[in-house]
Amino acid sequence: MRKVAWTVLTGVMALSLAACGSTSKNNAAPAGSGSSDASSSGAARTYFINPKSIGPAYWAAAQKGAEQAASDLNVKVVYNAPTEADSSKQINMIQDMLTRKVDGIGVSPNDAKAVGPIFKKAAGQNVQIVTWDSDAPDTDRQYYVAPDTDKAVGELLAKTIGDEIGGKGKVAFMVAGLGSENQIAKSDAAKAYFAANYPDVQVVTTVASDDDQQKAYANAQNLIKTYPDLRGIIGFAGGEPPAAAEVVEQAVKAGTMKQGQIAITGIAVPSVVKNYIKDGTINTDIIWDPGKLAYTTVYVLDQLAQGKEIADGMDIPTVGKVKVDGQNVFIGTLQVTKDNVDSFDF
């Protein structure tokens, strides 16, 4: 009898604990997801903005932009994703948000093909669909919001590194995921650019980190050990260039490598690579403002939801004029160097 009583008691305790957890989390929800939850009226349009994962600085910067757009446009934004760049968890989450009857979804797909069925379902429910940062062509998405074409970005990266190493030598690619469309398109474009303009540049390998910072770091360590005569590294996603720079810097400090032996460029948030740029480990970094990218995504979704047209050269507040090419919306890229690295606030 005593045992039964104790079981019931602990059960009740467990429940009340769970209740505490639930209520506190409920209060925390606006802080964690969309700051505009409280301010918006009941009839406000709601958009689900879904990056590839939650955690990396890049996506955190994007969240700020999405929330800024939410308060500027007076709409609700839920910004959420799995903690790892996992396609099936991402799709479960989109499915859940469709149940919540959001007015639009802005997705950066981890797998361009896998989002096909869920996009079809969303389109069937008259939900606006925009992809951002990474595209899912051949699906029901209406627009793709990007800094520039993947081809242009890939070519710019290849040109940067080709110039820095004098058009000759071994180069390695570091990507976030071998499956994502934007990574494939960018690295393919860079390869093609080398083949056409720097035939003496040899791309020795492509390593993937799955958006995992530790893995990116280990990848970079392996690269400099495996290819002692490596001349350049291109990091195609936010976590890769800092990992490469850190490893190279440590090798220089340890005396196993000369300063400037390996040139590094890539796509990275300025705040993360600021020190590497200042001490010359990275000369040029390519970036766009992820906040503006997310802002544009919310803006485009809101335009679509109101039945308004997406026109070339339209002026988006805080973002500026954007280029619209077919179903693509381009906001433009920035080059970060020693001279301007302090002028970015993300």
Partner 1 sequence: MSMRTIGLSFKQNKLLVQLLLLLFILVLFSILSPYFLSVTNFMNVFNQMVEVGLIAIPMTMIVISGAMDLSVGSILGFSAVCMGIAFEHGLNIWASVLVALLAGLLCGAVNGYLIARHRMQAIVVTIGMLVMLRGLVYVLNQGRPISGYPDSFYFLGQQYIAGVPFNAIFLAAVFLLAHFVMKRTRFSTYVYGIGNNEEAVHYSGISVVRTRFILFLLSGLFSAMAGVFLVSRLASAEATSGTNIELDVLTATLIGGTHIFGGRGSLSGTFIGLLIIVFLRNGLNLLGVSVLYQAVILGALLLIAVGNKQFNRGLSR
> Is residue 19 within the footprint of partner 1 (CB under 8 A)?
yes
> Judged by CB under 8 A, which stretch of 25-33, 267-275, 288-296, 315-323 contacts partner 1?
25-33
Distance of closest approach, residue 8 Cβ to partner 1, in angstroms: 8
H helix or E strand, kind and range, residue 323: strand 323-325
Residues 173-192 that bind partner 1 (CB under 8 A): 177-179, 184
What residue has token string 């379902």? 121
Neighbour tally for 217: CB within 10 Å = 19
Q: Which of 186, 181, 207, 176 minimizes the C-alpha distance to 84?
A: 176
> Is residue 101 within the footprint of partner 1 (CB under 8 A)?
yes
**Half-sphere exposure of 55 toward its Cβ, with a 13 Å CA cutoff?**
13
> Is residue 4 within the footprint of partner 1 (CB under 8 A)?
yes
For residues 104 to 143, the per-residue mask of contacts with partner 1, x marking binding by CB under 8 A and - elsewhere, is ------xxxxx-xx--------------------------
Amino acid in the structure at residue 170: K
> Judged by CB under 8 A, which stretch of 73-81, 256-264, 305-313, 319-327 contacts partner 1?
73-81
In b/e form, how buried is each residue of 28-63, taking b as 16+ CB within 10 angstroms? Answer: eebeebbbbbeebeeebbbbbbbbbbbbbbbbbbbb
Taking the alpha carbons of 192, 196, 198, 199 in that order, is the dihedral positive or negative?
positive
d(CA 59, CA 49): 11
Distance of closest approach, residue 17 Cβ to partner 1, in angstroms: 6
Neighbour tally for 168: CB within 10 Å = 12
> Is residue 15 within the footprint of partner 1 (CB under 8 A)?
yes
Q: Which is nearer to partner 1, 10 or 202 (CB)?
A: 10
Interface residue with partner 1, options 88, 214, 337, 340 (CB under 8 A): 88
Size of the site for partner 1 (CB under 8 A): 56
- What does DSSP assign to residue 37? G
Q: Which is nearer to partner 1, 184 or 287 (CB)?
A: 184
Contact 78, 49 (CB under 8 A): yes
Q: Which is nearer to partner 1, 12 or 196 (CB)?
A: 12
Q: Which is nearer to partner 1, 63 or 303 (CB)?
A: 63
Q: Which residues contact partner 1 (rule: CB under 8 A)? A: 2-4, 6-7, 10-11, 14-15, 17-19, 21-22, 25-26, 28-29, 32-34, 37, 54, 78-88, 91-93, 95-97, 99-101, 110-114, 116-117, 177-179, 184, 208, 210
